């Protein structure tokens, strides 16, 4: 059974720092890996989708990498801002199946 783990569970950084969020999964036979952002009491916002044949995706200050063989992904946030404060969730699936989520990393960026 696929399990997704996110470390750390919480992270506090000062504004301007670059940071890395980690995601690991137990079954490397994935189809997609997707990173989401969730603000308190809100739904999930898709940040980046990495398909199994890809190694990384970039969007603005965000860069996500995927290493299927080791069962790991990282989300890199450059020059963090207070508006980046949120919970970041990682999820994976196999073809035709629903995403399985980690518990998330709660990020706090102080000004």
Q: Which residues bind another protein (CB under 8 A)?
A: 4, 31-32, 34, 36, 41-46, 49, 51, 89, 91, 93, 95-104
**What's the closest the beta carbon of residue 97 comes to another protein, in angstroms?**
7
**To which residue do tokens 């603000």 refer?**
39
Nearest to another protein of 19, 44 (CB atom): 44
Taking the complex as a whole, how short is the minimal distance between the CB of residue 92 and another protein, in angstroms? 11
Nearer to another protein, 55 or 103 (CB): 103
Are 97 and 27 in contact, with CB atoms under 8 Å apart? Answer: no
Of 8 and 14, nearer to another protein (C-beta) is 8
Q: Is 84 helix (H, G, I), strand (E, B) or coil?
A: helix
* Smallest separation, CB 44 to another protein (Å): 4
């Amino acid at each position: 059974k696929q399990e997704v783990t996110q470390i750390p569970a919480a992270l506090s950084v000062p504004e301007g720092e670059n940071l890395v969020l980690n995601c690991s999964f137990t079954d490397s036979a994935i189809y997609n890996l997707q990173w989401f952002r969730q603000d308190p009491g809100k739904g999930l916002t898709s940040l980046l989708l990495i398909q199994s044949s890809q190694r990384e995706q970039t969007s603005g200050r965000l860069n996500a990498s995927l290493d299927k063989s080791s069962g790991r992904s990282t989300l890199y946030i450059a020059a963090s801002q207070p508006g980046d404060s949120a919970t970041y969730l990682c999820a994976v699936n196999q073809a035709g199946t629903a995403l399985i989520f980690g518990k998330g990393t709660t990020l706090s960026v102080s000004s």
